[in-house]
Amino acid sequence: MIGTIDWASWGTAVGTLVLAAATFASVRSGNRAGRNAERALQAGLRPVLFASRPHETVQKVRWGDGHWAVLAPGRAVMEEEDGVIYMAMSLQNVGTGIAVILGWRLDTGQIISPSSSLEEMQAGPQMVRPDPTTFRPQTRDLYSPPNDLSFWQAAIRTAEDPDRARVEAAMTGTDPLLIDLLYGDQEGGQRTISRFSIARYGGPDDGWFPAVVNHWYLDREGPR
């Protein structure tokens, strides 16, 4: 004998299933909206460092041993005194968040020209993201406010420093020196590596000019 169908129970079950499906879709949509909102907020607070543009402000940079240097906008400093090599670079934060420089590292390499082939560009040393664990920590906090000038500074103080030969070769030659800066926002997030090239324009008396080469994001996919 076939029993009668309990239409009330059946309707309740179908309604529950429909409600569960709607709730699942709503939760997924809410999570997606939340992620998009968080990403938009982070993008609005992300610091991005560039070499500074021509500006009327001249910065005066002091090291812990009392050495001073005059840093013109759009310029870099590499000078030696009493066996110590002092380095500084004028920066501009074009992002909307405060940048806190956490570390630095040096490299050498031929900068790729606009006429280089795709294979040459992909094989260039400046296209490989550096390992964050290879950076040297800053000995002082360097903050870069948004839409304003700031600077990076460091020094090589001993003859046994592994980076000394690279810097001396750049100071006596014509090849550029690559400087990687590791920085993040004021809460320690959104870590970024920006690679700069420092090169002379003309002769040894024409000074040093920095230019940004690459940016790498460590917390998400980069701009390329």
pLDDT digits (tens, 9 = 90+) for 143-173: 999 989 999 999 999 999 999 999 999 898 8
Per-residue pLDDT of 93-148, as tens digits, reads 999 999 999 999 998 655 444 444 555 445 555 578 899 999 999 999 899 999 89
Q: Position 87: which residue type?
A: M
pLDDT, residue 114, reads 46
Residue at token pair 């570390």: 103
Average pLDDT over the chain reads 81
| DSSP one-letter code for 224 | -
Are 194 and 210 in contact by the 8 Å Cβ rule? The answer is no
Above 80 in pLDDT, residue 185? yes
Per-residue pLDDT of 13-22, as tens digits, reads 666 776 766 6
The number of residues in the chain equals 224
Band of the pLDDT at 174, cuts 50, 70, 90? confident
Above 90 in pLDDT, residue 71? yes
Quick one: tokens of 211? Answer: 């230019």
Domain ranges of the chain: 1-45, 47-217
Q: What's the pTM? A: 0.76
